[in-house]
Structure 1
Amino acid sequence: MDRKSTKDKPLSEKTTEDFAHYFQTTYTPPDIKKARKRGRDKIEVHYDFEISDNLRQIGEGKKFLIRTYGCQMNEHDTEVMAGILTEMGYEPTERAEDSDIILLNTCAIRENAENKVFGEIGHLKSLKVEKPDLIIGVCGCMSQQESVVNRILKKHQQVDLIFGTHNIHRLPNLIQEAMFSKAQVVEVWSKEGDIIENLPKVRHGKIKAWVNIMYGCDKFCTYCIVPMTRGKERSRRPEDIIQEVRHLAAQGYQEVTLLGQNVNAYGKDFEDIDYKFADLMNDMHKIDIPRVRFTTSHPRDFDDHLIEVLAQGGNLLDHIHLPVQSGSSYILRKMNRKYTRESYLELVKKIKKAIPNVTLTTDIIVGFPNETDEQFEETMSLMEEVGFEAAYTFIYSPREGTPAAVQKDDIPMDVKKERLQRLNELVNKQSAASMKSYEGKTVKVLVEGESKKDDTVLAGYTEKNKVVNFKGPKSIIGKIVEVKITEAKTWSLNGELVKKAIEVN
């Protein structure tokens, strides 16, 4: 793959002025109109990733720390970066003061996440003074934004390395450049990268695994920066995904979660085969792995074929996270969600008819610019009508470069907070009611480890993604067992181990 650069001058020799020119000429700031017109250049799939011999021992005797912010996609990227660093000889550590390289894998979805990253960058300044050879890197979605990179270049000289979401596979070379460069090393690609297979990964344990099935998003919701930071939709080949999941099953993994910014759009970019997300899920159904989940799902692309496939059950779990964002058709139109309240409810009706015991969860944004009281009440009523058992709720956060960010907003913050509080009270009420229905029932729990609050208690998740705490031998960690629920709380369940029973599909 060709790397974008201003001149033939080596990246390690470039100055801040060079990078300013770089961003003016080859870096494309978030621009909805330009992004909509982005070309459908052919995406290549590469299977020849390798780390050169001279870089394989560069980290021997050294340690790395990656701090991850944001979504599951960032978690997956962290697994890849950890895999690359491990193959370079580095060892992981949880202590910043013991690290030789610290990477901040960032999120650009909300302002709060961005503020946390800059706060962490500030905290690392004193450590950099104590350890001048420490490499501090900023990567992920924030790095894809011009304003963020310029801010780091101008105000945070302790940062040695900045790279984006499309060139993670270049990490070995970038670290080498950062080691020997006198200037900050920046490599951010505006154009989406190709698909790089066979990247090493470091997964924690052999219980649950993320499996990325596609990259990017073409939906252009007016509040969302992801189409600019992650690029256009690019689907991995089905045979590569199937092979990866089969390999995980052979290793003893009990659950996989298929990842994408919009998994329902999987396969729409294929030109040589007619193979969509429903086809992939149907193939997942045939693999001998107990549990298969997916996230995130967009209502617009949730078709009848997918519902039909999911209704088969088995290892395709009956928990669906279906972000609605708002219950008002007017606000949904302003968000460019491309569905209405009515069409969303019709989709829910279809899903419930095909999968009677389905559990639905969602995402909701409160206080979108100029949302009226009546429009908020529509969200409240939709929450009740659907019967969501849980919801991730947020006050709208404007992101520079998106259409919504330039809209005049006349809703006072205290009104937004009051709406969020009312919504959360309803979410808690519905969650508590759904949990109460489990008392006295026996459920299958994938045991993930000790409870964070009590190491004498084990914790795991049901098929419907409910957390269960119970006492039992540590030998059952990583297995699926039966637990009788004795007590329901708002967000968790307590129970008693019935018997050891590894689920067999």
Structure 2
Amino acid sequence: MTQRLYIETFGCQMNERDSEIMAQLLGEHSYVQTNKPELADVVVVNTCSIRGKAAHKAYSCFGRYKKLKEKHHDFILAVTGCVAQQDGTALLERMPYIDIVMGPQSIYTLPSLVAEARRSKKPQVATELSADFVIPPFLPNLAESTPHKRFITIMQGCDNFCTYCVVPYTRGREISRSFTDILGEATHLVAQGVKEITLIGQNVNSYGKKGDAAQNKSFPELLRAVAGIDGLQRLRFTSSHPKDLSEELMRCFAEIPVLCPHFHLPVQSGSNRILERMNRKYTIEAYLDKAARLREYRPDIALTTDIIVGFPGETEEDFAATMQVVETVRYHGSYSFKYSDRPNAKAADFPDKVAEAVKSERLARLQVRQEEIALELKQAEIGKSVEVMVEGASKAPANQWSGRTGGNQIVNFSCDRKLVPGDLLMVEIESACQNSLRGKMI
């Protein structure tokens, strides 16, 4: 009998991909997705705990589902992702109405966990982290819908142990996925009509550095293999650690035509003293050298970053160094956040915390300047002709479409004819807004 599934996803692309996998796994057991949780037989909340705000959002939504369960006692509430891995059985102590708690390594067992929860009427917990975990072979089912772009997981976990970060504790140690499985999934997707693929992992640069799953292939070798699939039009990847950025990988931007000129390279801080306390294992001088080298190989590359403001011990001088990096690199965009203590992360025990008001003031200063730089870079595109991949039509006004450049910039443009997501076309840029470009189709 057909049953209905609702998934709510918080956090990164890894979580988005995990949610797609869980939807397909339950789909193979006669579950169809609904956008109304009140109609669902199973509700899955895929959580994020990378920052305190993200974890709080997840906890607040659990309360909504408690009220829903009081009206509809039969539906199964499953919690997965980093909050589930981090809090484990403590979740059940606080919220006994949750039926399943499972970590990211356990998502492939979701159908059996749902079946057991229904049969036994007892909570199910699956939060083991194994260093011997193998990412199973997986081929996406695109029969119902063929989106023009997809994520492919190439590795899980992290070995860096940055002092502010929970990922090694919630997703485990670095595990590379089989080179053959990745290439097989990418080939399958392109054969189904996918035009753009993004390879994802906590630190894709270190793909293949340990274990034999990668079959002695490096990340640049994997990039070249996927790029060679006939019919693939665009290739992206995220996220990268600066210490593992090799010259071979930088050369890929000059030598692989389908590799998009966009690189997300988290800096976190411009101060060497703070970078050392963060355990980032690079200096700001080395970081800036690599940013400059990337632009030598690909002058039009769009660089984006992550920045943490108010890390314990950060002085005004340290913050000024971060602002200087923003001025020097001139990022096309950044994800910037106030530092927050995370469970198990070493920095949670650092004594010299920065006052909340100081963090807020610094973050506001940073974001204002970053927005100015981003707008200036967009304005520099006016008058240029750029290749855009169509994302879809705007709801209003009529004949308005939206797409993205290779540098991941949103472009809105008008076109009287019918377009399809994934179409590639040329657009002349006529104006720039804070978050997008506007133009006309050539």
For normalisation by structure 1, the TM-score amounts to 0.84
Corresponding residue SS for 2:104: coil
- What is the CA-CA distance between 1:486 and the residue it aligns to? 1.4
1:179 corresponds, among 100, 105, 118, to 118
| 1:84/1:201 contact within 8 Å kept | no
What do residues 454-486 of structure 1 show as CA deviations (whole Å, max 9, x unaligned)? 565211110000001112234333211111111
Question: Corresponding residue for 2:342?
Answer: 399
Pick one of 180, 187, 200 that aligns with 1:239.
180
Which residue of 1 is the match for residue 368 of structure 2? 425
- State the shift of 1:414 in Å: 0.9
Q: Separation in 1 of the partners of 2:99 and 2:181? A: 35
CA gap of 1:231–1:259, structure 2 versus 1, over 3 A, is same
Distance of aligned partners of 1:79 and 1:268 in 2 relative to their CA distance in 1, 3 Å threshold: same
The equivalent position to 1:230 in structure 2, one of 171, 177, 188, is 171
3-state SS in 2 of match to 1:127: helix
Q: Is the 8 A contact 2:140 2:189 kept in 1?
A: no
Give the match for residue 486 of structure 1.
430
Q: Is the 8 A contact 1:64 1:100 kept in 2?
A: yes
Quote the sequence identity (%): 41
Question: Which amino acid letter does the alignment assign opposite residue 197 of structure 1?
Answer: P
Q: 1:454 to 1:299 in 2, by over 3 A?
A: farther
Alignment of 1:339-350 (within 5 A): 339-350=282-293
Change (3 A) 1:390 1:340: same
Superposed CA RMSD:
1.7
Quick one: which amino acid aligns to residue 293 of structure 1?
R
- Return closer, same or farther for 1:426/1:277 CA change in 2, 3 Å cut-off: same
Please give the secondary structure, in 2, of the residue aligned with 1:168.
helix
- In the TM superposition, 1:288-303 aligns within 5 A as 288=230, 289-303=232-246
The answer on 1:198 being equivalent to 2:142 is no
Matches within 5 A, 1:113-152: 113-145=54-86, 148-152=87-91
Asked which structure has the greater RCO (Cα within 8 Å, sep 6+), the reply is 1
- Give aligned pairs, total: 437
Distance between the aligned counterparts of 2:313 and 2:334, measured in 1? 22
Corresponding residue of 1:66:
7
Instruction: State the distance in 2 between where 1:258 and 1:401 align.
Output: 28
Q: What do the CA deviations read for 1:232-262 (whole angstroms, capped 9, x no partner)?
A: 1111122221222122222221100000100
Q: CA deviation at 1:200?
A: 4.7
* Alpha-carbon distance change, 113 to 454 in structure 1, aligned in 2, over 3 angstroms: farther
Match of 2:109 in 1: 170
Unaligned runs of 5+ in 1: 1-59, 499-505
Q: Is the 8 A contact 2:204 2:219 kept in 1?
A: yes
- Please identify, of 412-421 and 281-290, the stretch whose mean Cα deviation from structure 2 is larger: 281-290
**Structure 2 gaps, min length 5:** none
Which whole-Å deviations, capped at 9, do the CAs of 1:43-80 have from their partners, x for residues lacking one? xxxxxxxxxxxxxxxxx331100000010000000010
Could you tell which deviates more after superposition, 430-439 or 187-196?
187-196
Radius of gyration: which is bigger?
1
Which deviations, in whole Å up to 9, do the C-alpha atoms of 1:154-199 show, x marking residues without a partner?
2212211111111111111100011122322212113242221126
Q: Give the conservation status (yes or no) of the 8 Å contact 2:307–2:335.
A: yes
Give the 4+ runs in structure 1 shifted more than 6 A: none
After superposition, give the CA deviation of every residue in 1:308-358 in whole Å (9 maximum; x if it has no partner). Answer: 222114101111111110100110000000000111011112212222222
1:85 aligns with 2:26: yes
Please state how far the C-alpha of 1:151 moved relative to its aligned partner: 3.6
Distance 1:478 1:299 in 2: 31
Residue 103 of structure 1 corresponds to 44
Deviations 1:392-441 (A, max 9, x none): 11101210111001111342111101100010011101100010011121
Q: 1:61 to 1:454 in 2, by over 3 A?
A: farther
Cα deviation digits, residues 59-116 of structure 1 (max 9, x gap)? x331100000010000000010000111110111001111111000011101111111
Preserved CA contact (<8 Å) 1:486 1:494: yes
Call closer, same or farther: CA 1:242–1:377 in 2, change over 3 Å.
same
